[in-house]
Amino acid sequence: MTHPIRMADLQALSPQERQKALELLAADAVGPTNGHALAALGRIRDYERRYEMTSAVLLERLSRGEIRETAEIAEWLFWVNVQRGGGGEKARPE
């Protein structure tokens, strides 16, 4: 599993090092989910414990207008969407 790379550090790499780093990152990205995915799941579980509700209940209560979407809840939703495979309704233009 490739470690995360600080984007500010990419500039310091030589062209060869940079290419190698990108190849390793790309190979991991198209492989199966890895330890980073487990970390993402851990974040979701943290939110669920702190708010004492499952992500499914969060979505139901948001759609009924019972909960306000705060910055932290937006982060929670982001990670739920990542875990589900990427985007909620997709950011990509059709």
Q: Which residues are near another protein by CB under 8 A?
A: 2-8, 10-11, 19, 22-23, 25-34, 36-37, 40, 59-60, 62-63, 68-69, 71, 74-75, 77-79, 81-82, 85-93
Nearest residue (CB) to another protein, 38 versus 49: 38
Calpha distance 65→46 (Å, rounded):
23
Annotate 53-74 with b (16+ C-beta within 10 A) or e (fewer): eebeebbeeeeeeebeeeeeee
Q: What minimum distance in Å lies between the beta carbon of 52 and another protein?
A: 19
